[in-house]
């Protein structure tokens, strides 16, 4: 009986183990390849304590960086993980799309909803993929009015009111045409915003001056239309996904009033 009582006493007086606290932070950035990120992140990762783990997922120039910390000291953990979270934001100040674990389309949808503005899409090479991504968001009917997949020049001209002279002189894959596509779909559907794409997704169709992966994109907000030319790498699906992400990021920056004009590019 004595030994049993002694065991019970020891169990009752054993110090309770502190509960482990878990904290997570996220940063979504756009514009870096996996190789570029590997070099940039090497020094940052070396600074992290053992109780803070990092996860990096990159696809079609969209990168999600997650920090997860587990420790029994909640105040220390939150201080440290907030510090590292801010360091990440400072490292990628111009490339940050979100500081939450959200897709590019979700971020765009939130902005459109907050500003109470509407959007329409004019898509050629992306074939409706932008509209697909936007409408995956619950509640997107509040801001998304519709899309025109204008694969042929006839549809560009007859539905979106792209001038035949621009199509003939500059070609479908050009600054002039995507500008008119964005303006045309916005006017057609009476929206505040619009995005447009025209390019060569491949695997065929490229030329010496406009190889596979060449995409012209336009984003419109109010009376302002901005355009960019990109040469995306990868297979057909990668080009489509990259163009989709890129033009949505263009509009996100326009809505946030931090868009930087692309340097003028000769498009021969």
Looking at residue 140, its pLDDT comes to 98
Each residue of 31-48: pLDDT tens digit? 998 888 988 999 999 999
Statement: residue 24 has pLDDT above 70: yes
Statement: residue 17 has pLDDT above 70: no
Looking at residue 113, its pLDDT comes to 98
Statement: residue 2 has pLDDT above 90: no
Statement: residue 28 has pLDDT above 70: yes
Statement: residue 96 has pLDDT above 90: yes
Calculate mean pLDDT across residues 148-169.
98
Q: What is the mean pLDDT of the chain?
A: 92
Percent of the chain whose pLDDT exceeds 70? 91
Q: What are phi and psi of 121, to 5 degrees?
A: -120, 140
Q: Is 184 left (phi over 0), alpha (psi -120 to 50) or beta?
A: alpha
- What count of other Cβ atoms lies within 10 Å of the Cβ of residue 38? 13
Looking at residue 141, its pLDDT comes to 97
Each residue of 51-93: pLDDT tens digit? 999 999 999 999 999 999 998 887 889 999 999 999 999 999 9
**103-136-63 Cα angle (round to 5):** 15
Q: What strand order describes the sheet that includes 193-199? A: 144-149, 119-123, 193-199, 214-221, 224-231
CA gap 41, 91 in Å, rounded: 10
Q: Locate the DSSP E strands across the chain.
A: 21-30, 52-59, 62-71, 96-98, 119-123, 144-149, 193-199, 214-221, 224-231
Looking at residue 74, its pLDDT comes to 79
Band (pLDDT 50/70/90 cuts) for residue 22 is very high
Statement: residue 268 has pLDDT above 80: no
Percent of the chain whose pLDDT exceeds 90? 82
CB environment 114-126: b (16+ within 10 A), e (fewer) = eeeebbbbbbbbb
Which of helix, strand or coil describes residue 162? coil
The two structure tokens encoding residue 35: 């190789």
pTM over 0.85: yes
Three-state SS sequence of 84-105: HHHHHHHHCCCCEEECCCCCHH
């Amino acid at each position: 009986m004595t030994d049993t009582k002694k065991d019970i006493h020891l169990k009752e007086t054993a110090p309770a183990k502190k509960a482990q606290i878990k904290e997570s932070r996220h940063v979504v950035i756009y514009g870096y390849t996996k190789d570029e990120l590997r070099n940039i992140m090497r020094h940052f990762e070396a600074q992290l304590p053992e109780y803070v783990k990092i996860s990096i997922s990159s696809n079609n120039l969209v990168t999600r960086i997650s920090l997860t910390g587990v420790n029994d000291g909640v105040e220390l953990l939150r201080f440290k993980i907030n510090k590292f979270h801010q360091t990440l934001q400072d490292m990628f100040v111009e490339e940050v799309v979100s500081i939450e674990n959200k897709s590019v389309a979700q971020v765009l949808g939130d902005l459109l909803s907050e500003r109470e503005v509407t959007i329409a899409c004019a898509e050629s090479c992306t074939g409706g993929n932008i509209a697909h991504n936007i409408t995956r968001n619950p509640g997107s009917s509040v801001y998304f009015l519709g899309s025109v997949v204008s694969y042929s020049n006839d549809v560009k001209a007859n539905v979106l009111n792209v001038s035949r002279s621009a199509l003939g002189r500059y070609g479908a894959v050009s600054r002039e045409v995507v500008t008119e596509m964005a303006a045309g779909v916005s006017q057609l559907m009476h929206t505040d915003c619009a995005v447009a794409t025209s390019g060569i997704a491949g695997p065929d169709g490229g030329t010496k001056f406009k190889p596979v992966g060449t995409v012209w994109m336009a984003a419109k907000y109010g009376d302002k239309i901005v355009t960019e030319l990109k040469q995306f790498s990868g297979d057909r699906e990668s080009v489509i996904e990259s163009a989709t992400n890129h033009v949505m990021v263009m509009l996100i920056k326009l809505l946030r009033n931090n868009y930087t004009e692309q340097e003028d590019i000769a498009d021969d």
